[in-house]
Amino acid sequence: MKKLNDIFLDNRVYEIYYQVGTVLKEAKRSEIHVSGGGGSINTIGGNTFGQINEVSSFNTVFDDLIISDNNGKEFSFQFSDFDLVIRGGNEIGIVWAVLKGQVKRNYLLVINNSTDSKFLNKNAISKLFGLRIYELLICSIIGFVCLAIHVFVGFLIIFLGWVLVLIKAQKRKKLVTQFTVELNRISFKDFK
């Protein structure tokens, strides 16, 4: 594990790390998640009525990699929602971010030097800039307390809390775009 330059956005420091190696083994699997369904239909007196619940599904692709660095040390990585196109023998670089002060790795980018291709995990990037739910919670709690004191003030504070959430959502989109631009600047040559 080696470190690239930090990325500074939204008064936060994102430490960027990477690991380079040759793919020894790769495996891909997929899970389909299905939910919903059911319901009932009844006929009474010639009239049919009822409800059919919608069925929804989504697919999650998992990639498992074992890579070896130049010294022969092996590393194992597991990814979801990248859908990598990689095979044994490819030389790759894996990039992740850690919010300063935390330990959770967010795998964001895989660069395949052998095929000159990049794979960005946009979902992981978006999660880095998720809304801080405590901000909405604080506004809502204060709003409900104020409701007990004065109805107008309570609803005003709740309304302002939701406006704050909308403003934060717009800001989040910009941060995700800026962070993606920074990641796209990384090339295999940056891995020393």
pLDDT, tens digit, for every residue of 89-106?
999 999 999 988 888 888
Q: Give the least confident one: 69-83, 91-105, 157-171.
A: 157-171
Q: What is the pLDDT of residue 132?
A: 63
pLDDT, tens digit, for every residue of 166-184?
888 788 889 889 999 999 9
Q: What is the pLDDT of residue 131?
A: 62
**Which residues, other chains included, contact 132 with Cβ-Cβ below 8 Å and sequence gap of 6+?**
168
Please, what is the average pLDDT of the chain? 86
Half-sphere CA count of 111, side-chain side, radius 13 A: 17
Eight-class DSSP state of 188:
G
Q: What is the pLDDT of residue 122?
A: 87
Residue 163: pLDDT over 80: yes
Q: Which residue has the tokens 């010294």?
A: 71
What pTM value is reported for the model?
0.74
50: enclosing H helix or E strand: strand 47-52
Q: What is the pLDDT of residue 133?
A: 67
Residue 8: pLDDT over 80: yes
Residue 162: pLDDT over 70: yes
Residue 86, phi then psi, degrees to nearest 5: -145, 145
Q: Of residues 5 and 42, which shows the higher confidence score?
A: 5
Q: What is the pLDDT of residue 118?
A: 94
Q: Of residues 187 and 127, which shows the higher confidence score?
A: 187
d(CA 187, CA 16): 13
Q: Which residue has the tokens 């309570």?
A: 154
In percent, the amount of the chain with pLDDT more than 70 equals: 96
Residue 10: pLDDT over 90: no
d(CA 17, CA 40): 53
pLDDT, tens digit, for every residue of 26-54?
999 999 988 877 777 777 877 777 777 78
